[in-house]
Structure 1
Amino acid sequence: MRPEADLGLPLCAPHTASHFHVERRFHTNGIFADIRHFGWTQSSRSVFRPDSYYLDFSIGPRCPTARFFNSERQLADPPGDVVFLPKGGAFATLSEPGEHSLLCLTFENDRAMQLFEDDSVADLAACQDVQIGRVRQGLARLVEELRNPGFGQDILLESMALMLVVELCRHFRQAQYDDRSAHGQMPGWRLRRIKDKIEADLAEMLSVADLAAEIRTSPRHLIRTFRATTGITLTDYIASRRIARAQDLLVRDEAMIKVIAGNCGFQSAAAFSAAFRKATGMTPREYREERGVSR
């Protein structure tokens, strides 16, 4: 929700609000901070689409009628003092008559973006009640500094904002790891990296040792956690992806079957034919002919 630059409005301003006032504003190196006061005089439903990573802190009690909808379109629990929303999401909101006073932070800073979009924290989800003491304390300190600016404010506020990003990413990264590890599962970033590696190298001889090295773990741990996370063995997953790739190529590529076999990681046309028939109930040639492709 980026307003026009010449209006001088902050990023992610609530355009449906009945009234809106910015008490203090700060911007440096892609970090935007403001203390804002706004409210509604009648019920309002809208969709909030932050185009930057967004963090807010309620100055005083948050209006209890401010609510987000969850993915099932049901009202979620009321937000807490600190709310975090990732970039690019769409969040349906319900606002009843009431007042809000918030410190709002949005991030387009390169260093902050690198942290938020690091592989190990790439599953960042909206959190409507961030329970991180250091983040809450840092936000309260930011409010104080915005209201009572002193020497070196630009440097101090930028440093404090980046500290908040680090604390958030550390928390979410550890939470993801703990959630997976508690059930013997693989963290999301590792699973994505393994699947991406497999897709990129389907034509090659994929070894468990090489895949384990990709995510800096042991082959035994990879095999165990992959199955615990996906419900399928690593070997069966690779085989299924090779067959899926072959089905796609047989329909849209007129290359000879032995060429497709090699492009999908099979050592010979005979091995490919046997594996394909076991998986689909027909030979590669029958599959291609059934779909009207001749070669």
Structure 2
Amino acid sequence: MTDNSIQNFSKGERLLPYASLFQTDHESQQLPIFVNRVHESFDLVMHAHDFIEICMVTEGTGFHYIGDDQMPVSRGDLFFIPVGISHVFRPSSTAKGRSLIMYNCIFTTGQLDKLLQAVYADPQISDLLSELNKAGQWLHVRDRNEEGQQLFHKLHDEFTSRKPGFTANLCATTIELLIMVYRRWLEKSQPQTMQQQQPTPSASASMQQIVEQIDANCTAELHVADMAAQLGISERHFQRGFKKATGMTFLDYVQSARIDLSCKLLLRTDARISEIAVQVGYQDMKFFNELFKKKTGVTPRQYRLSPK
């Protein structure tokens, strides 16, 4: 960041340098990537930094004040924040005690260039991310299929456990995260281009798109009224058409999609069962356990321990 950028800060703002993220551990200060998991509060003032930050909301709701913008945020909101952008997250005062929890992946501009060069990244990816950083333009996308959640969990585990080879894994997983951000941006900014890359839809394309939307966002709050409104039909008509297209009711399909996702998380992660329940959209552990057994025939613990 230039001196001018620092001088442009208003009263109450602060600059966070990359070195300030580490404590006195000299070895840690040499790490190419910093990762943390934080409970956002009202303590941190509006700030900018001399590094690039990719951050994602994993629990709770709140607001993101960034530049001159303010937006509500919830689980799955992901941001690419370049050098010099002033921002801060605040928990929602109506969250009834639920924390606003974030994961952050942080690295310098030089490290971004090294990561992209190391894997011979497509020029489009390198150009977009580099230009965003140079122009001071932030990016907002949404997680899909828990891909971002899993990548951040892996990053945090590697950063905190310091297992042999963890530095290489940090870099490799950050590259995956950067590519995911690019793909979500492409889907958001060029939907027609992305649609052209998909197979030709069937005659029931509208309902099929709804099914794909549920598959991609099964952990979100999904309502029949919203889905029916997208198709311009009544809820009753939607329910009949949905069951005809899938063989299941809307509620049963959403529940099955969530249980399928929880099965993957049970096998692919070391997260506690209670954490996985929350990740897939269930706060009530008793209900989650009963639903899981109803769908799979075994408890979540038995599923995790069973040979696959």
TM-score range, shorter chain: 0.3 to 0.5
- Scaled by the length of structure 1, what TM-score is found? 0.41
Q: Which has the larger radius of gyration?
A: 1
- Scaled by the length of structure 2, what TM-score is found? 0.40
